């Protein structure tokens, strides 16, 4: 039985949560490997809506192991709050069903503050971040001054490590004319919660090795999307982690052969939250209609998502960059009532046709989409569970995406509900 990695293949919010939850029925272990609580994954099960940020989407099923890998940046207070909220909904979370990598790095209040300062500054380009401290936390990780989960276990060492981190932060803050960080308070606050979070701490790479030996089925749950990848995305309008499949390995401590199937989650149109280029964006009534029908409001920040037509060039590029084996196409029902539906199949740049998205930000803003028009199906697809029940024009649209991207369609999702999903090719069967 293969292990699967689930990767957002646009600008995030493709419906990863729904698909991870749906597939996790057949999995034993569900693992988050990058990002933090900038992610917002929505699941609708038995008419209850769960909004997960840091916890893997398998957490709501019984008898599954959920893992947060070392590649994730963890705000310990946000994590404890999320656990509390889920417990209120009757979900049991213990150190038997949740493991957190002992070497995962933490998001602390100075990170969050710095994120907000930069976003509000008139001197820097606004990225439109989630203001959760993600960027500054990853900077500290790469700068070798981050606090790791395991550091909470040793108060003496913690104090030394916080000194290193604050040496950096206080120098930045001095330049910004901000107060020094109150070190005593920071340590006191961390010590106060340390036992609540340390109980989940484990050498995750070792646990995963044990699960692999026992032939347990592992689902790797990506956050964000390939176009928000720090290397391959629309830099600098990206998040601060690699969102491509390689992160599932480095962010957990597994070798490449661990993953047998890479499932790209793709929305039937395009959305983006925050700033940055978006060639097929519809800044008009059509865009508003898509947003309304798709309920396109951010799970984390409640911001209105920008909406536009499906960009096949971008999705094809994502499929290549992350080695996608199959596409889970979501939200086809949102397009039910459009007379004409458009798909971007190329761009015009400086009068020339190109068939890829260039890396230069200037060019990314400049490209003009070349569209192919599809006749809408003007019929309800919401809740359809069988391919044959889809209207012919919807099938044509989906088949075009398959042939343009040269990737099989593994499933089609027709509503937010777990069960409203058409299975075409089971990723667990490869």
Chain residues that interact with Mg ion, rule: CB under 5 A: 13, 40, 299
Asked if 115 is an active-site residue, the reply is no
Give the nearest distance from C-beta 267 to ligand IMO in angstroms: 10
Contacting ligand IMO (CB under 6 A), which of 13, 75, 82, 140?
13
Residue span binding ligand IMO (CB under 6 A) among the ranges 125-133, 147-155, 171-179, 381-389:
125-133
What does the alpha-carbon distance between residue 119 and residue 123 come to, in Å, rounded to a whole number? 10
Q: Is 327 in the site for ligand IMO (CB under 6 A)?
A: no
Contacting ligand IMO (CB under 6 A), which of 130, 280, 414, 415?
130
Residue span binding ligand IMO (CB under 6 A) among the ranges 126-134, 250-258, 319-327, 332-340:
126-134
Give the nearest distance from C-beta 151 to Mg ion in angstroms: 30
Contacting ligand GDP (CB under 6 A), which of 9, 17, 79, 243?
17
- Closer residue to ligand GDP (CB): 163 or 399: 399
Compute how many residues bind ligand GDP; rule: CB under 6 A: 22
Other Cβ atoms within 10 Å of 266 Cβ, number: 30
Interface pattern 252-291 for ligand IMO (x via CB under 6 A): ---------------------xx-----------------
Residue span binding ligand IMO (CB under 6 A) among the ranges 35-43, 65-73, 170-178, 391-399:
35-43
Give the nearest distance from C-beta 129 to ligand GDP in angstroms: 16
Interface pattern 233-252 for ligand IMO (x via CB under 6 A): ------xx------------
Asked if 232 is an active-site residue, the reply is no
Q: Which of 37, 41, 111, 169 is catalytic?
A: 41
Q: Is 111 in the site for ligand GDP (CB under 6 A)?
A: no
Catalytic residues: 13, 41
Residues that bind ligand IMO (CB under 6 A): 8, 11-13, 38-41, 127-130, 132, 134-135, 223-225, 228, 239-240, 273-274, 299
Residues that bind ligand GDP (CB under 6 A): 8, 12-18, 40-42, 44, 295, 299, 330-331, 333-334, 413-416
């Amino acid at each position: 039985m293969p292990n699967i990695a689930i990767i957002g293949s646009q600008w995030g919010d493709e419906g990863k949560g729904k698909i991870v939850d749906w597939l996790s029925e057949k999995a034993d272990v569900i693992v988050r490997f990058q990002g933090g609580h900038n992610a917002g994954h929505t699941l609708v099960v038995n008419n209850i809506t769960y909004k997960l940020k840091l916890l893997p989407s398998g957490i709501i099923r019984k008898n599954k192991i959920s893992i947060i890998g070392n590649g994730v940046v963890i705000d310990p207070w946000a994590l404890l709050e999320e656990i509390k909220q889920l417990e209120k909904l009757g979900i049991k979370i213990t150190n038997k069903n949740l493991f957190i990598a002992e070497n995962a790095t933490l998001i602390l209040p100075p990170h969050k503050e710095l994120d907000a300062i930069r976003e509000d500054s008139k001197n820097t380009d606004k990225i439109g971040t989630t203001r959760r401290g993600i960027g500054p936390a990853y900077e500290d990780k790469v700068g070798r001054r981050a606090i790791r989960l395991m550091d909470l276990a040793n108060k003496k060492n913690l104090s030394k490590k916080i000194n290193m981190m604050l040496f950096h932060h206080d120098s930045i803050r001095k330049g910004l004319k901000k107060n020094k960080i109150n070190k005593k308070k920071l340590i006191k606050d961390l010590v106060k919660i340390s036992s609540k979070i340390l109980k989940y701490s484990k050498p995750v790479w070792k646990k995963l090795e044990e699960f692999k030996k026992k032939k347990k089925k592992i689902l790797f749950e990506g956050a964000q999307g390939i176009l928000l990848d720090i290397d391959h995305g629309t830099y600098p309008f990206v998040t601060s982690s690699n969102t491509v499949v390689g992160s599932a390995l480095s962010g957990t401590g597994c070798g490449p052969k661990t993953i047998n199937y890479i499932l790209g989650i793709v929305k039937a149109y395009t959305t983006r939250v925050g700033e940055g280029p978006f060639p097929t964006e519809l800044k008009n009534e059509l865009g508003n209609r898509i947003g309304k029908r798709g309920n396109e409001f951010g799970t984390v920040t409640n911001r209105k998502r920008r909406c536009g037509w499906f960009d096949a060039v971008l999705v094809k590029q994502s499929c290549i960059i992350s080695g996608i084996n199959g596409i889970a196409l979501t939200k086809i029902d949102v397009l039910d009532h459009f007379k004409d539906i458009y798909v971007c199949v190329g761009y015009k740049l400086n009068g020339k046709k190109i068939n890829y998205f260039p890396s230069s930000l200037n060019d990314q803003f400049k490209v003009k989409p070349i569209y192919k028009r599809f006749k809408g199906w003007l019929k309800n697809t919401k809740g359809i569970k069988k391919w044959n029940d889809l209207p012919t024009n919807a099938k044509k649209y989906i088949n075009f995406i398959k042939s343009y991207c040269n990737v099989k369609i593994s499933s089609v999702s027709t509503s937010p509900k777990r069960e409203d999903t058409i299975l075409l090719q089971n990723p667990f069967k490869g």
